[in-house]
Amino acid sequence: MSQKVAGVKGMNDLLPGEIEIWQHVEAQARELFSRFGYGEIRTPMVEDTALFVRSVGEETDIVGKEMYTFNDKADRSLSLRPEGTAPAARAYIEHSIANQEPLTRWFYTGPMFRYERMKTGRYRQFYQIGAEAYGAKEGAQDVEMMDMVVQFLERLGLKDITLNINSLGDEACRPTYHAKLVEYLQAHREALCTDCQRRMEKNPLRVLDCKNEKCQAIAAAGPNVLETLCEPCRAHFDDVQRKLTALGIRHVVNPRMVRGLDYYTRTVFEFIASHPALGTASTVGAGGRYDKLVKSLGGPDAPAVGFACGLDRLVLLLKESGQQFAVRPDVFVAVADAGSHDPALVLASRLRREGLRVEFDTRGGSLKSQMKRADKSSADFTLVLGEAERTSGQAKLKPMAGGEPIPVALDEVARVVRERKAVPK
RNA sequence: GCGGCCAUAGCUCAACUGGUUAGAGCGCCGGACUGUGACUCCGGAGGUUGCCGGUUCGAUCCCGGUUGGCCGCCCCA
């Protein structure tokens, strides 16, 4: 066993039987996002390490301890991307998109990498599907994006997902709140858990969502970020809430919601699922506005908002939902005698060219074993080809779910199968 | 990074307090049914009990280490 090759910890294989769910999720996203006018981008999985340090934030856990960082042969420090917003922003800047169109909507999907402890719904190579909109500072853009996520989750048939929103303010009011909070926490230092005493120094906002009851009580009684927003931020947040309501999107204002990346300003949001299978990995999608990020990376002064959904977690929920995504063959072509093997191969080929999904056991074998295989494949029909069929040009389509065999000319198989499938019994 | 639980056939699990060739169900393959799957019956293949070492006359069982998985913390999608 120890001699056997093995995959890297936290990085999983996706095989047929499960991959269909992933394909379904991605197909739904592509179709929906294009309705919203979002175009797909694909950026490299590796970027200059500095990109993430400058955008996500040097003090964040993601950059501080979770990045896969290495030096290439020219001694450049590179990192496997831990998230998708920074690479997208880099591409937006690099291709001078702002000079070509005032409002840009992009989406992406692909693997992200973070070196951390393995758990359900939390892997070292995980998959996100996300979107970014550049150029609009208006609350309508925040709302459009949340609406897109809502519709995405709806389409997947996922229930019991709550949208939490908050505003973190901007460069004008955030420092004010930050100072107030630190002052308040200092006064209650002794009552906080040891983790929070540490958080106070490093990232005071984190105290707000500590699970400890005492800390929660203290945080609840402390300064509220929403009450310290400056006027423009206040107006923006009110506008977002008004528009969400206009769209009928249910949401909860959670003034203690904090995000782990430094680049967010104003609106932040999280989609939280309540299904027990996810355990503590209950956030299935999250995002927010980052009006200063593009400029801070050397680009134009472009406001932006984005989100990302964790595909691993969505797939987990879909598995729990019991929905079926397997692709079934239309016809299984079985061979009755050795002399019919080649003609059957030719028939299968032709049927595929005519658009059918055809399963054919290239190993031959007894008819019985082929029938078993046909059953296992869950094909809709089985067609047995033998000497009789070849001389007469006539065969029978056997419905595997039961029922009378359907006589069919070998030239008409594709047409008949399509007719039968179009009219479910 | 910290704390706890676990590891036996492809899958889900057995095996009295350490005792002979480690079992069952499902799955897989074949047969009963020589041109028709599922149900039933019969048979077969498949394990260095995760790996390495230790204690013992003897280890799936006890001890140490290691790798992997799960749960909580941290944090996040």
Instruction: Check residue A424 and give its pLDDT.
Output: 54
Q: What are phi and psi of A35, to 5 degrees?
A: -65, -35
User: What average pLDDT does the segment A125-143 reach?
Assistant: 97
Model confidence at A96: pLDDT above 70 = yes
Instruction: Check residue A246 and give its pLDDT.
Output: 97
In angstroms, the CA of A203 and the C1' of B5 are apart by 32
Neighbour tally for A62: CB within 10 Å: 19
Neighbour tally for A380: CB within 10 Å: 20
Secondary-structure percent of chain A, ordered helix, strand, coil, rounded to 5: 45, 20, 35
Which pLDDT band, with edges at 50, 70 and 90, does A2 fall under? very low
List residues bridging with A285 in a β-sheet.
A271, A309
- Which residue places its CA closest to the C1' of nucleotide B66? A2
Model confidence at A238: pLDDT above 60 = yes
Instruction: Check residue A421 and give its pLDDT.
Output: 83
**Nucleotide at minimal C1' distance from the A85 CA:** B77
The region of weakest confidence among A70-79, A203-212, A339-348, A359-368 is: A203-212
In angstroms, the CA of A207 and the C1' of B54 are apart by 48
**Nucleotide at minimal C1' distance from the A309 CA:** B77
Cα dist from A192 to A186, A209, A219, A228, A232, whole Å:
10, 13, 10, 23, 33
- Which residue places its CA closest to the C1' of nucleotide B51? A2
Which pLDDT band, with edges at 50, 70 and 90, does A57 fall under? confident
Q: What are phi and psi of A422, to 5 degrees?
A: -70, -25
Rounded distance between C-alpha atoms, residue A347 and residue A360, angstroms: 10
Spatial contact of A146 and A244, defined as CB atoms under 8 Å apart: yes
Residue with tokens 């005071």: A204
**Nucleotide at minimal C1' distance from the A260 CA:** B76
**Nucleotide at minimal C1' distance from the A373 CA:** B37
In angstroms, the CA of A361 and the C1' of B1 are apart by 52
Cα dist from A297 to A56, A86, A274, A346, A406, whole Å:
11, 9, 37, 59, 67
Q: What is the pLDDT of residues A353-399, one digit of tens each?
A: 999 999 999 998 899 999 999 999 999 999 999 999 999 999 999 99
Instruction: Check residue A219 and give its pLDDT.
Output: 82
Q: Which bases of strand B have any atom within 7 Å of the beta carbon of a protein residue?
A: 1-2, 28-31, 33-38, 48, 50-52, 67-77
Which pLDDT band, with edges at 50, 70 and 90, does A178 fall under? confident
Q: What ranges in A212-292 are assigned the alpha helix state H?
A: 213-221, 231-246
Question: Residues of chain A with pLDDT > 70: what percent?
Answer: 98
Cα dist from A188 to A150, A197, A198, A221, whole Å:
39, 10, 13, 11
**Nucleotide at minimal C1' distance from the A286 CA:** B77
- Which residue places its CA closest to the C1' of nucleotide B48? A1
In angstroms, the CA of A1 and the C1' of B7 are apart by 13
In angstroms, the CA of A16 and the C1' of B68 are apart by 23
Instruction: Check residue A203 and give its pLDDT.
Output: 76
Instruction: Check residue A142 and give its pLDDT.
Output: 97
Instruction: Check residue A1 and give its pLDDT.
Output: 36
Q: What is the pLDDT of residues A286-313, one digit of tens each?
A: 999 999 999 999 999 999 999 999 999 9
Rounded distance between C-alpha atoms, residue A211 and residue A7, angstroms: 35
**Nucleotide at minimal C1' distance from the A261 CA:** B76
Q: What is the pLDDT of residues A100-113, one digit of tens each?
A: 999 999 999 999 99
Instruction: Check residue A423 and give its pLDDT.
Output: 63
In angstroms, the CA of A367 and the C1' of B38 are apart by 15
Rounded distance between C-alpha atoms, residue A386 and residue A364, angstroms: 13
Model confidence at A3: pLDDT above 60 = no
Among the ranges A196-205, A209-218, A338-347, which has the highest mean pLDDT value?
A: A338-347
Rounded distance between C-alpha atoms, residue A313 and residue A278, angstroms: 7
Rounded distance between C-alpha atoms, residue A56 and residue A45, angstroms: 16
In angstroms, the CA of A10 and the C1' of B67 are apart by 13
Q: What is the pLDDT of residues A219-229, one digit of tens each?
A: 888 888 999 99
User: What average pLDDT does the segment A50-68 reach?
Assistant: 89
- Which residue places its CA closest to the C1' of nucleotide B68? A9
Question: Residues of chain A with pLDDT > 90: what percent?
Answer: 69
The pair of structure tokens assigned to A2 is 């120890």
Residue with tokens 């049927």: A351
Model confidence at A262: pLDDT above 90 = no
In angstroms, the CA of A393 and the C1' of B44 are apart by 40
In angstroms, the CA of A324 and the C1' of B12 are apart by 22
Spatial contact of A61 and A203, defined as CB atoms under 8 Å apart: no
Residue type, A48: D
Question: Across chain A, what does the average pLDDT equal?
Answer: 91
In angstroms, the CA of A369 and the C1' of B71 are apart by 45
The region of weakest confidence among A79-83, A169-173, A323-327, A333-337 is: A323-327
CB proximity list for A144: less than 8 A, separation 6 or greater? A36, A133
The pair of structure tokens assigned to A50 is 């500095």
Instruction: Check residue A78 and give its pLDDT.
Output: 95
Helix (H, G, I), strand (E, B) or coil at A405: coil
Helix (H, G, I), strand (E, B) or coil at A120: coil
Residue type, A78: L
Q: What is the pLDDT of residues A138-160, one digit of tens each?
A: 999 999 999 999 999 999 999 89
**Nucleotide at minimal C1' distance from the A378 CA:** B37
